[in-house]
């Protein structure tokens, strides 16, 4: 187990060294670093004995085939893209734990009643094209062709990136796994919150994932000279966006027990010191475990944006980019995972909800899903200070081994 733990850590470090930016971890979808990290994952999967390929969207798939006739597919996965200035555990830890589970089956010559798929999803963060769960949407058969026309900040389309990486976009639909052929899904992931630290536990069960809506908001006013245009005659797009940002913060605080709301990305145009901002583009990310409440909040915020637009004589474009309902983890898979935690000697089987989104959201459309959270220091994530101790990685490996043995037993 110590050797396997060391191997996971060594591989985490190897992936962390692959970045498009020299002084931080940065692997947005479709970049050179992203492709190189996918190549490395393919090498490790192949060496482990998995049948390995990269699909059109960039998912890295390693398959361990069952000898059972008409066997279904069980997926273990996480993502290998990152946010800018990321930590090294968000995503890759789950992939590498999944690879170790496959290696465990191979080394112990365990007969499996299902085809085991270890998948490194190409794009979960959606940092480049605002396409959260892009990789898993292709696997689940829910890729939207309109996404091909989305452009990044440099004006490069998703279609162009796929073609540059030798992909043929018309093949995407044919590479999915059907609902009829999918037995289930498991993902191990750092918690991205402080609960496990507070409870002094290495791992816990996930019972569900919050619903999420992403919106692109554009404000268009009139650019003008900062020194000559009267204050009471301005149509300042940034001031409109700023007023809206405070409204977002206000409603988030008002309902903080069941809502989080964030404006995380903002572009100011022309972004020049002596010019009144004529255009502002920003994102809006709202999440809640209550689907109906999230829909209501989205409507309230859109109405407030329209009021600000009218009051300030600034044009508004409100474009909902993605909406995903909340997900409940499967009871049977949770029982298997609970057994895995208990057999690892962990004193308490804690169960919590996830405010963060995961590829399990998209895979839940075709299969029952399960998730294991692993403690991360101080709950820090999307930050280079992310850290999981070797001891917690080792304990996670033990739980994962127990889980896959229980799953094989239940389906044999």
pLDDT in tens, 132-180: 999 999 999 999 999 999 999 999 999 999 999 888 999 999 999 999 9
pLDDT digits (tens, 9 = 90+) for 111-131: 999 999 999 999 999 999 988
Which CATH architecture describes the domain 2-210+326-411?
A: 3-Layer(aba) Sandwich (3.40)
Once rounded to an integer, what is the mean pLDDT over residues 334-351? 97
CA distances from 176 to 140, 197, 228, 337 (A): 6, 38, 58, 26
**Residue 392 CB partners (closer than 8 Å, separation 6+):** 202, 203, 374, 375
Backbone angles phi, psi at 194, to 5 degrees: -95, 5
CATH 3.40.630.10 segments of the chain: 2-210+326-411
pTM: 0.90
Tell me the sheet residues that pair with 391. none
SS3 398: helix
Between the alpha carbon of residue 265 and those of residues 83, 154, 186, the distances in Å are 12, 15, 31
Q: Which residue has the tokens 């229980």?
A: 406
Whether the Cβ atoms of residue 88 and residue 8 lie closer than 8 Å to each other:
no
CB-count exposure of residue 266 (10 Å: 0-12, 13-18, 19+): middle
- Measured from the Cβ of residue 298, the count of other Cβ atoms closer than 10 Å reads 19
DSSP string, 333-373: HHHHHHHHHHHTT-S---EEEESS--THHHHTTTS-EEEEE
Check: CATH 3.90.1150.10 for 211-324? no
174's CB contacts (< 8 A; 6+ apart) are none
Where in the chain do CATH 3.30.70.360 domains reside? Answer: 211-324
pLDDT computed for residue 247 by the predictor: 98
| 11-15 contacts at long range (C-beta below 8 A, 24 or more positions apart) | 11/44, 11/92, 11/96, 12/88, 12/89, 12/92, 12/93, 12/96, 13/88, 14/40, 15/40, 15/41, 15/80, 15/88, 15/92
* pLDDT tens per residue, range 276-291: 999 999 999 999 999 9
């Amino acid at each position: 187990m110590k050797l396997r733990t060391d191997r996971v850590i060594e591989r985490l470090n190897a992936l962390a060294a692959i970045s498009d930016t020299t002084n931080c971890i940065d692997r947005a979808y479709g970049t050179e670093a992203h492709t190189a990290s996918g190549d490395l994952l393919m090498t490790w999967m192949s060496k482990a004995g998995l049948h390995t390929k990269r699909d059109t969207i960039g998912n890295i798939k390693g398959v361990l085939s069952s000898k059972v006739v008409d066997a279904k597919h069980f997926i273990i996965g996480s993502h290998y893209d990152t946010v800018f200035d990321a930590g090294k555990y968000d995503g890759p830890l789950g992939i590498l734990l999944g690879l170790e589970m496959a290696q465990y089956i191979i080394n112990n010559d365990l007969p499996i009643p299902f085809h085991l798929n270890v998948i490194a999803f190409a794009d979960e963060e959606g940092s480049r094209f605002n396409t959260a769960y892009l990789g898993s949407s292709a696997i689940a058969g829910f890729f939207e062709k309109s996404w091909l026309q989305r452009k990044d900040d440099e004006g490069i389309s998703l279609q162009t990136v796929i073609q540059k990486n030798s992909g043929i976009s018309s093949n995407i639909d044919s590479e999915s796994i059907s609902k009829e052929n999918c037995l289930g899904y498991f993902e191990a992931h750092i918690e991205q919150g402080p609960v496990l630290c507070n409870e002094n536990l290495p791992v816990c069960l996930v019972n569900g994932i919050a619903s999420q809506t992403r919106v692109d908001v554009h404000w268009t006013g009139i650019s003008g000279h900062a020194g000559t245009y009267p204050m009471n005659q301005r149509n300042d797009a940034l001031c409109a966006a700023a007023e809206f940002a405070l409204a977002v913060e206000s409603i988030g605080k008002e309902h903080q027990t069941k809502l989080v709301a964030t404006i995380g990305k903002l572009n100011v145009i022309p972004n020049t010191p002596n010019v009144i901002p004529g255009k502002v583009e920003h994102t809006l990310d709202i999440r809640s475990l209550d689907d109906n409440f999230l829909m209501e909040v989205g409507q309230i915020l859109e109405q407030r944006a329209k009021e600000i637009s009218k009051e300030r004589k600034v044009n508004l474009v409100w474009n909902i980019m993605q909406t995903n309902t909340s997900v409940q983890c499967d009871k049977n898979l949770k029982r298997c995972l609970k057994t895995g935690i208990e057999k690892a000697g962990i004193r308490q089987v804690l169960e919590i909800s996830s405010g963060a989104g995961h590829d399990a959201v998209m895979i839940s459309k075709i299969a029952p899903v399960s998730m294991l959270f692993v403690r991360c220091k101080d709950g820090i994530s999307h930050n280079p200070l992310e850290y999981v101790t070797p001891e917690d990685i080792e304990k996670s490996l033990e739980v994962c081994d127990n889980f896959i043995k229980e799953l094989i037993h239940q389906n044999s």
